[in-house]
Amino acid sequence: MLALWIVLGVVALLVIFVIATYNGLVGLRNRIDNAWSQIDVQLRRRYDLIPNLVETVKGYAAHEKQLFENVAHARSAGIAATSVTEQAQAENAITQALRQLLAVSEAYPDLKANQNFLALQEELTGTEGRIAFARQFYNDQVLIFNNKVQQFPSNVIAGMFSFAARDFFEVEEAATGPVNVQF
């Protein structure tokens, strides 16, 4: 009789463990998907800032036509992108173009003193920060999820219900290269 109760108890604990682990994995997976789309949200906030920035700089450095074209072109490519790779390329292009624009504006002291420009610069820095942090959060969640999927005993449950380890977000080589500034 006692043996029966012990067996039932063990079975109950096992069931609870399986349910809890499964739910944990589902929750983490959803959080990862959410974090991924959050990166997108932050990237798109950049688009809104760009036209304003370009107009302000144009007021002081109208002849830097090439830079303005680069930025505008990269921005429209980003908005129009359909696949993840296209989007990533466009985002890298925007980052590069913005860096060049801001680097060049160092040569115009009047522009640097302009309140509007300073405010926009702060907003851009803030947005770049948000993008970076959104990516960091995504990677942190992927780390937690991958640990759970690969470590014992949760890997058993993960295998049973086909949870696979996810990839980390990696910055492409192009974005980490040196900035080319032409005066």
Residue number, 126 or 159, with CB nearest to other proteins: 126
Residue number, 110 or 122, with CB nearest to other proteins: 122
Taking alpha carbons only, the member of 74, 83, 75, 72 closest to residue 47 is 75
Q: What is the DSSP string of 124-154?
A: HHHHHHHHHHHHHHHHHHHHHHHHHHHSTTH
- 125 lies in the site for other proteins, by CB under 8 A: yes
40, 123, 165, 175: which one contacts other proteins (CB under 8 A)?
123
- 52 lies in the site for other proteins, by CB under 8 A: no
Residue number, 41 or 156, with CB nearest to other proteins: 41
Residue number, 30 or 66, with CB nearest to other proteins: 30
62: exposed, middle or buried (Cβ count in 10 Å: 0-12, 13-18, 19+) = exposed
Asked if residues 25 and 145 have their Cβ atoms less than 8 Å apart, the reply is: yes
- 147 lies in the site for other proteins, by CB under 8 A: no
For residue 67, give the 3-state DSSP assignment: helix
Q: Which residues bind to other proteins, rule: CB under 8 A?
A: 31, 35, 38, 42, 119, 122-123, 125-127, 129-130, 132-134, 136-137, 140-141
